[in-house]
Copies of this chain bind each other. A is one copy, B any other.
Amino acid sequence: MHDTPEDDWPRRVAILGVGLLGGSVAMSIRRRRPNCVFVGYSRDAARLAGAVDRGVIGRATGSIEEACRDADVVVVATPVDRIAGMVIEAARHSPAGCLITDVGSTKSGIVANVEEDPVAMAKFVAAHPIAGSEKSGSQHAVADLFDGKVVVLTPQSTEQMADQVAGTAMVGRADHFWKMTGGTTITMSVADHDAHLAAVSHVPHLVSALVARMVPPAARSLVGSGWTDITRVAAGDPEMWTAICRENRTAIAGELARLASELDGLRQIIQDADDVLLLDWLAHAKRTKESIQSAPTSGRRRFDAD
């Protein structure tokens, strides 16, 4: 394990939005940087006090300016529709060279908005750790949330940057930071990220909610463990998911169209009583599921950081 020259970086991290994800970022980084100061910002003073009481963050403030002043890193962990505005404000109050990153599960809208502010864009490297829970709030934050999980970085092309060298350095800093959480970083374009996430996260979430909504009242006592698993994420925060759908509407609409078409194909198989085709259809689903279950990035723990 050998660190970059800055062995004590970061010394001060601002967490804007101290919920499940923001809290877990602080707790995960603290394992490697016990002396790092984590300053939490929230509009909700009670929530913030709770996070300090539980030791999730070291200091709390109701001022973004105060949180970002002297910060080496600012992590924006609010709902996706508030991220771009927070990044731009954090850029205004943070020192030169400060890394600003986020945890949003959509990227196009955020990056497009931040790009309108060159000062913010010079500090910002968009990120999406593929980790979370249907629970929310810093009381559910854990230090190992990101261990072995994929963290997608979607830096804008450095060719497009005013200062290529600084841009590349900032991406390297983001890579280093997210590896310190225990995560494994990969880089992807904003468009690919949003299309892929619609397919493997956003539309599956909507499908889970669809299944939950469709239980006939008289059948409530008949749900089993299959239904319970399929609908777990349907208990997620409706406000958060409405924001995700707003931010990634185009990709989600495209995936929903694909889903409707695939569903039509399945209905035809059932209607035709074509059991040979159905067996093949189900076997394909099983193979895909099992190949992904055994993929190294899913489930297993890896420590790639530092």
Contacts and interface: CB of A to CB of B under 8 A. Distances in A.
Contacts of A285: 208-210, 212-213, 231, 234, 238
Interface stretch (A16-24, A39-47, A65-73, A249-257): A249-257
A228 B264 contact: no
B214 A226 contact: no
A197 interface: yes
A222 to B, nearest CB: 5
B228 A278 contact: no
Which applies to chain A's interface (DSSP): helix, strand, loop or mixed? helix
A263 B236 CA distance: 19
A220 B201 CA distance: 11
A271 B289 contact: no
A62 to B, nearest CB: 27
A258 B215 CA distance: 11
A121 B63 CA distance: 75
Total copies of this chain within the assembly: 2
Given A238-B286, A253-B271, A186 B226 contact: no
Task: Bin chain A's interface residue count.
Answer: 35 or more
Interface of A: 130-134, 149-150, 152, 186, 192, 195-197, 199-201, 203-216, 218-236, 238-239, 241-242, 245-246, 249, 252-253, 255-260, 262-264, 266-267, 270-271, 273, 275, 278-279, 281-286, 288-290, 292-293, 295, 297-299
Given A196-B216, A210-B266, 16 more contacts: A130-B223, A130-B224, A132-B225, A150-B221, A192-B218, A195-B219, A203-B214, A204-B211, A205-B226, A209-B285, A212-B288, A214-B259, A230-B232, A239-B279, A246-B273, A257-B267
29 contacts: A130-B222, A134-B226, A199-B215, A199-B219, A204-B227, A205-B226, A207-B207, A207-B211, A208-B285, A209-B286, A212-B288, A212-B292, A213-B288, A220-B292, A220-B295, A221-B298, A223-B298, A226-B233, A229-B229, A230-B232, A230-B233, A231-B285, A232-B289, A235-B290, A238-B279, A242-B279, A242-B282, A253-B267, A259-B263
